[in-house]
């Protein structure tokens, strides 16, 4: 079976290239092609959604999700594996809007602990909503230019048909750089939750309010759209006690998950350097 992520990703890039609204983004100064309201969905029991039409760095999203579950805003743990959040660091090497910190500490309660207790007590609950967006501080007329405003801003977790289903909502998604990383990261989070709750993984649904690409990536997007999908589905299971070990900040867990995925991951050739638009 062909890699489902490659199929959906290639289709969405083609749609944006051909039908995207082309506008100059005021904040960045770059021309964007954008489409509203796009959705991707994957059955995680059938395989892990990884982009193979070009190589993505596996340790980045693995270490990031572990850092999130630790509930930290200090970058020390993450910087052992990636510098991806360094541009957003503020005082004391911290990111005030770090997703995991907001999950576990920022709103005065531990949302992740509450989610797990909720679904352990009531497998039919539809109240499993996790927020990264702080309405008092993010977006609208906040009056300050912040280093980072959450792009993935909420997700829900439910057990439907006996399987764990996660629905992620992203307000703004850079399809060349952010999307493959976000999908893989929240897929991994789904496996962590399923392992902790002792249920099989189900669907990962990703809803994108603004799916876009920047002018500096147009040619690379065309190259991806023109490539033949060759990779098969990537089977995956998490190590035992994966959720608990992630909470504890177990560095060896990053390496174990990396080895599991890397041995089955054979991406196509690089597209060259892809610059991030901040």
Active site residues: 151
Residue ranges with strand state E in 80-239: 129-131, 152-160, 163-170, 173-174, 201-214
């Amino acid at each position: 079976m062909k890699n489902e992520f490659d199929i959906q990703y290639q289709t969405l890039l083609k749609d944006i290239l051909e039908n995207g609204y082309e506008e100059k983004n005021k904040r960045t100064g770059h021309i964007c092609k954008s489409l509203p309201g796009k959705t991707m969905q994957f059955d995680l029991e059938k395989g892990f959604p990884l982009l193979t039409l070009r190589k993505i760095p596996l340790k980045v999203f693995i270490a990031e999700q572990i850092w999130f579950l630790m509930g930290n805003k200090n970058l020390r743990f993450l910087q052992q594996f990636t510098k991806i959040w360094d541009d957003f660091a503020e005082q004391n090497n911290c990111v005030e809007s770090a997703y995991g910190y907001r999950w576990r500490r920022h709103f005065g309660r531990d949302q992740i602990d509450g989610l797990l207790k909720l679904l352990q007590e009531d497998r039919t609950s539809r109240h499993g909503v996790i927020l990264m967006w702080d309405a008092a501080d993010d977006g609208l007329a906040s009056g300050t230019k912040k280093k980072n405003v959450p792009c993935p801003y909420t997700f829900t977790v439910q057990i439907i048909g006996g399987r764990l289903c996660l629905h992620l909502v992203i307000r703004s998604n850079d399809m060349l750089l952010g999307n493959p990383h976000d999908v893989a990261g929240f897929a991994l989070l789904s496996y962590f939750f399923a392992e902790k709750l002792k249920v099989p993984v189900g669907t990962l649904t990703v809803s994108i309010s603004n799916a876009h690409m920047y002018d500096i990536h147009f040619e690379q997007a065309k190259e991806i759209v023109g490539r033949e999908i060759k990779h098969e589905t990537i089977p995956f299971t998490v190590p035992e006690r994966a959720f608990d070990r992630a909470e504890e900040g177990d560095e060896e867990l990053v390496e174990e998950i990396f080895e599991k995925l890397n041995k089955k991951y054979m991406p196509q050739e690089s597209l060259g350097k892809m610059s991030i638009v901040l």
